[in-house]
Amino acid sequence: MYTSPNRLPAPAGRLVDHENTINFSFEGTQYTGLAGDTIASALAANDVWLLSRSFKYHRPRGVLSMAGLEANTLVQVDNEPNVAADRRKVTQGLQVSGQNCIGSLANDQAEKISLVNRFLPVGFYYKAFFQPKGAWQNIWEPIIRKFAGLGQVHPDTPHGYYDKQYLFSEITVVGGGPAGMSAALAAADAGAEVLLIEQETVIGGSLNYGRFDTEGTLAHTLHDELVTAVTDHSNIEVMTDSVCNGYFADNWLPVIRGHRMYKLRTKELILAPGKMEQPAIFRNNDLPGVLLGTAAQRLIRLYGVRPGKQAVVLTAGDDGYATALELLENGVNVTAVADLRQSFDATPLYKKVLACGISIHKACTVYEALPDKHTRGIRAAALRQLAGIGQCGNEAWRYDCDLLCVSVGFMPSYQLALHAGGKLKHDEAVSGFSITGLPACIHLAGAVNGKNELGSVIESGRQAGQAASRKLGLAVPGAAASRPLNPISYSSINHPWPIFPHPRGKEFVDLDEDLQYLDIIHACRDGYDELELVKRYSTVGMGPSQGRHSALATARVVAEETQRTMSEVGVTTARPPLHAENLAVIAGRSFEPERLTAMHHRHLEAGAHMVTAGQWWRPAYYGEPQHADRWILKENLAVRNNVGMIDVSTLGGLEVRGPDAAEFLNRMYTFSYSRQKTGTLRYLLMTNPAGRIIDDGVACRLDDEHFYITATTGGVETVYRTMLWWNAQWRLDVDVTNVTSAYAGISLAGPKSRAVLQQLCTSTDLAPASFPYLSVRTAQVAGIPARLLRVGFVGELGYEIHAPSLQGEALWDALLKAGREFGMQPVGIEAQRLLRLEKGHLIVGQDTDAMTTPHEARMTWAVAERKPFFVGGRSLQAARRYPSNRKLVGFSVEPEQDEVPGESNLILDGDSIAGHITSVGYSPTLNKIIGMGYARADTEPGMLIQIKLKSGCRQSVQVVEMPFYDPQNKRQEM
């Protein structure tokens, strides 16, 4: 039979299954919990309250909110750091350990740091650790870095499976408490499709654990009524265990459930996230055993855990009395209630607590919690009479207790509303906040809308549900009179100043960052008295809980210290995400598309060494990498002497059609296309508005209103986007389509290419007279419809054959077969790079950089200066008055040397940098090392330029004319 010291019998423990036990370990000790337990509740049931050590002083910490809102409960679960123990469910065999301790959680050696507390004032790291020069980096940083961080990541953690799904809804309600349920019902009744998102495993919110009346039945009755209505409503879909973790523009919501992120678009959004109970600030308010009132209620009702044996309650309204009754009825001995209020109307809850014979101290606070050295929790509460706001008198009481419940006020759960652009506005009269400035598609319901009393919370939900429905154009029934829900009066109060400094400190404003009352004051006195400066200087609110429990108190202390109102001081903003989210959830499955050409498998079969080119895979050469030079040489010679074929499918392809097609190209590219004849092709050079080269290709005129153009592999997406962008303004009658993937491309090059092609292309006359250089034909190649382009990138007679992708492989095979008797060889991009270098053709992006002009690249021949307009033209014209100081030149070197010039070697002008080598390689045809690079603008063939080799040595090399190979262009035009 399962027993735990603090486990309460059913019906306490709505979320746990009393019949179903779970074994897990914490700090190496085995414990038994129940299915449905969180790590924290299961440990609490076993009377384990110490969960972690604080960031700076390594103070013992335990449950505060039981809502997963603070750093106190962060534990290490296996390899996963910083897991909120009060949210993560226990599972069989789970291994949990404490974080940020040296030794063990119970005996943390680093605890001694708090002894030197007074030597570590706020912002202490700015004030020291830097003398002498280098001391920070060499001495102090390594020491301080050792103490940084909480949990641990392990480099061998496997990457789990995470994914994403899209969702859509008409109305989304975030928060399944009374307000959210009421809103969902109102909207669903009006006919809207409603999605209700709840982060707990069940809906019901505070009705699951809260107490609103003397008998403790109201929550229960309302819960059953609303939950049943929501569950039964066919228009409402409920997502539990799901966190809407941020708000992004236009109602775009990431909803995280387990390992999946739903990306939800909703027409209308109702926010009903409720409120966050706030701590009081007194000495040792951070120790295990000091709980928010709602945390005690959650432990009892949700998990069936008795939160302590003997309790003191600190309150400023009925919340504390409700908590006291809950404790009393669940076996906790409540010894005293301290009420911050001087006088108040006796509510039924108050009267009942009084009738139970409990000492109630009015105008009284907890001044200090006394630590228990043995349990690391508390052993007593010291109470003091209040003499004024924040002023403690001399009259004092002391009550033994191991539990101190604090209920002094709330903050709305403002985060999502603030992500959406809302602003927190402080109302001094009720010491509460309201949220203003939201987009019209967002509606607030319940506590986040400033409602505290249960009846008005539910009514506020109904109104929000109706307002959202009306926005959708749905007919909403007339305003039904809201029924009185709360037969008794219940007053929940935000106390304006639950802050009680102690001469010996340790009254924590921010538990995450171990900031005490005086730290905030001192930050102001050091001059950092703007709220954002207080935050940055002291780090208040920057820890894992992101100010959820510290923002309010900080603003209050700063307002007091600087003699300003809360409104003047403001509250810092909230940024996504709402709760810390696993990086893997955000990333989801990693999609990195790979693009394969139609001939990909043929390359693999031929033993190609494949390399990436953007998303594409391309053959670098055919053969194993250790003999790369040999294969490149072989492929190079095949093209020069016989014939080679290169897969050029990755080249961009665009169809440009319409009456204005030629005019469009005229504007997009530097050359002129108006008078280009049908059946010919022409070089394309694109510049950006600053006149710098960004892409090139060829334009094939297929008819008057139709061009087929190519772009570089890496550039085509940008070219396409840029074209659409410009034409959105020009409105030319032209249509551009990116057909890159639709066509496979094979470049057939070499003196024997015509002979090979003619075999497969019997119906077309390939003779130079009828199909000359720089012309384009459509033809059947091996029965496959294709576009034939006579181009000469590598400087030999050659054809590019563009055919539908589906037939690319068949075309490849046919060509390979036809070429066999001519010594044809498949050629990779390495040999192609070398071949084009021999021919002096540049590659955009390699031989040009972001600043290269056509002039510097000696491409002015491709610029039609007399055109009225092209992108970059105006800049090029204006720039002519300011000549460039560099240009692209060719050079050659004898090959037999110890060290040869390499790509990226600098070209020097004296000691300053004139440019660099952009391409270089050994040309087997010329038996020379040839290259190109940027040198001074006045460099001419025959002159010497200085190259700084990798070793640092300098070498003079001779500038030569380009092209290096076949300067008369006889071979490509034959």
Which lies closer to another protein via its Cβ, residue 210 or residue 577? Answer: 577
Looking at the Cβ atoms of 215 and 899, the one nearer to another protein is: 899
CB nearer another protein, residue 175 or residue 544: 544
Q: Closest approach of Cβ 450 to another protein, in Å?
A: 25
Angle at 885 between CA 948 and CA 916, to 5 degrees: 25
Which residues fall within 8 angstroms of residue 892, CB to CB, at 6 or more apart? 926, 928, 929, 930, 931, 957, 958, 960, 964
Work out the burial of residue 250: count CB atoms within 10 Å of its CB; fewer than 13 is exposed, 13-18 middle, 19 or more buried: exposed
Q: Does 530 bind another protein (CB under 8 A)?
A: yes
Residue with smaller CB distance to another protein, 126 or 869: 126
CB of 25 to another protein, least distance (A): 19
For the chain, the maximum distance between any two Cα atoms, rounded to a whole number of angstroms, is 115
Nearer to another protein, 133 or 677 (CB): 133
Peptide bond into 132 cis (omega under 30): yes
Which positions from 842 through 881 interact with another protein, judged by CB under 8 A?
845-846, 849-851, 875, 878-879
What is the closest distance, in whole angstroms, from the C-beta atom of residue 267 to another protein in the complex?
Answer: 18
Question: Hey, what are 264's tokens?
Answer: 């939800």
Of residues 530 and 973, the one with the C-beta less far from another protein = 530
Type of residue at 856:
E
d(CA 658, CA 854): 29
**237 to each of 172, 232, 444, how far by Cα in Å?**
10, 10, 20
Single-letter amino acid code for the residue at 18: H
Please, which residue, 335 or 718, has the CB nearer to another protein? 718
- Based on the shown chain and the rule CB under 8 A, indicate whether residue 954 belongs to the binding site for another protein: no
79 is a contact residue toward another protein (CB under 8 A): yes
User: To the nearest whole angstrom, how small is the minimum distance from the Cβ of residue 851 to another protein?
Assistant: 4
- Shortest gap between Cβ of 379 and another protein (angstroms)? 29
CA distance 533 to 555: 12
Give the nearest distance from C-beta 449 to another protein in angstroms.
23
The footprint of another protein on residues 178-217 (CB under 8 A) is: none
Q: Is 774 in the site for another protein (CB under 8 A)?
A: no
Q: Which one of 81, 348, 505, 924 is in contact with another protein (CB under 8 A)?
A: 81
Amino acid, res. 474? L
Which one of residues 145, 483, 677, 731 is an interface residue with another protein (CB under 8 A)? Answer: 145
Reported in sequence order, the residue ranges of 340-377 that DSSP labels E, i.e. its strands, are 359-361, 364-371
In the complex, minimum distance from the CB of residue 77 to another protein, in angstroms, rounded to a whole number = 9
Q: Which among 303-311, 333-341, 525-533, 778-786 is the span making contact with another protein, rule CB under 8 A? A: 525-533
Selected range binding another protein among 72-80, 295-303, 356-364, 492-500, rule: CB under 8 A: 72-80
267 versus 309: smaller Cβ distance to another protein:
267
Q: Using CB under 8 A, which of the segments 303-311, 363-371, 383-391, 582-590 binds another protein?
A: 582-590
Q: Phi first, then psi: what are they for 246, rounded to 5°? A: 180, 165
Residue type present at position 907: I
Q: Which of 70, 248, 261 is CA-nearest to residue 165?
A: 261
Distance of CA 47 to the CA centre of its chain: 39
Q: Per CB under 8 A, which of residues 314..333 are in contact with another protein?
A: none
Decide if 246 contacts 576 (C-beta within 8 A).
yes
8 Å CB contact between 235 and 191: yes
Minimum gap (Å) between residue 114 Cβ and another protein: 13
- Binding residue for another protein (CB under 8 A) from 5, 93, 149, 659? 149
Looking only at the bridges linking them, the beta strands covering 652-657 and 644-647 are unpaired
Site for another protein in 112-131 (CB under 8 A): 116, 118-121, 124-131
Segment lying near another protein (by CB under 8 A), choices 242-250, 308-316, 342-350, 892-900? 242-250
Q: Is 590 in the site for another protein (CB under 8 A)?
A: yes
Q: Which string of b and e fits 414-441 if b means at least 16 CB within 10 Å?
A: bbbbbbbebbbbbeeeebbbbbeebeee
Spell out the residues 6+ positions from residue 419 whose beta carbon is closer than 8 angstroms to its own: 246, 247, 248, 574, 575, 576, 578
Question: Interface with another protein includes 684 (CB under 8 A)?
Answer: no
Binding to another protein by residue 377, rule CB under 8 A?
no
Taking only Cα atoms into account, the Rg of the chain, rounded to an integer number of angstroms, comes to 38
Contacting another protein (CB under 8 A), which of 472, 584, 742, 774?
584
Minimum distance, C-beta of residue 546 to another protein, in the bound complex (Å): 7
Q: Which two tokens stand for residue 267?
A: 């027409």
The interface region with another protein, picked from 147-155, 224-232, 432-440, 923-931 by CB under 8 A, is: 147-155
Amino acid making up residue 152: Q
In a 13 Å sphere around the CA of 926, the CA atoms on its Cβ side amount to 23
Q: How far is the CB of 419 from another protein (least distance, A)?
A: 8
Residue 162 interacts with another protein (CB under 8 A): yes or no:
yes
783 binds another protein (CB under 8 A): no
Residue from the set 21, 102, 136, 658 that interacts with another protein by CB under 8 A: 136
Alpha helices in 647-760 (DSSP H): 661-668, 716-730, 753-760
Q: Of 513, 547, 506, which is closest to residue 56 (Cα–Cα)?
A: 513
Please state, in angstroms and rounded to a whole number, the distance separating the CA atoms of residues 512 and 10.
Answer: 35
Q: Is 594 in the site for another protein (CB under 8 A)?
A: yes
Please provide the distance, in angstroms rounded to a whole number, between the alpha carbons at the two ends of the chain.
96
Host H or E run for residue 693: strand 693-703
Instruction: Provide the token pair at 621.
Output: 């050469």
Let me know: does 292 contact 313? Beta carbons within 8 Å: no
Contact 535, 555 (CB under 8 A): no
- Identified binder of another protein from the candidate list 93, 160, 437, 607, rule CB under 8 A: 160
Stretch 595-614: interaction string toward another protein, x if CB under 8 A = ----------------xx--
Ranges assigned E (strand) in 712-831: 735-738, 743-749, 776-781, 784-789, 798-804, 825-826
Kindly report the number of other CB atoms within 10 A of residue 213's CB atom.
21
- Closest to another protein by CB, 562 or 758: 562
Asked if 636 touches another protein (CB under 8 A), the answer is: no
DSSP secondary-structure letter at 108? Answer: B
Choose which of 528, 621, 891, 964 interacts with another protein (CB under 8 A). 528
Region of 27 please: left (phi>0), alpha (psi -120 to 50) or beta.
left
Residues numbered 412 to 471 that lie near another protein (CB under 8 A) are 419, 421
Site for another protein contains 565 (CB under 8 A): no
Taking residues 257 to 276 in sequence order and writing x for each that binds another protein by CB under 8 A, - otherwise, the string is ------x-------------
- Establish if 151 lies at the interface with another protein (CB under 8 A): yes
Q: Does 237 contact another protein by CB under 8 A?
A: no
Q: Is 550 in the site for another protein (CB under 8 A)?
A: no
Number of chain residues interacting with another protein (CB under 8 A): 105
Interface pattern 30-59 for another protein (x via CB under 8 A): -------------------------x----
- Quick one: tokens of 115? 């002894």
Residue 448 half-sphere exposure toward CB, CA atoms < 13 A: 28
Q: Within positions 885 to 924, which residues make up the interface with another protein, using CB under 8 A? A: 903-906, 912-913, 916
Pick out residues in 500-519 that bind another protein (CB under 8 A): 518
322 or 520: CB nearest another protein = 520
- Per-residue binding letters, 701-740, with another protein (x by CB under 8 A): -------------x--------------------------
Q: Which of 13, 33, 210, 254 binds another protein (CB under 8 A)?
A: 254
**Closer by beta carbon to another protein, 216 or else 902:** 902
Beta carbons of 853 and 689 less than 8 angstroms apart: no
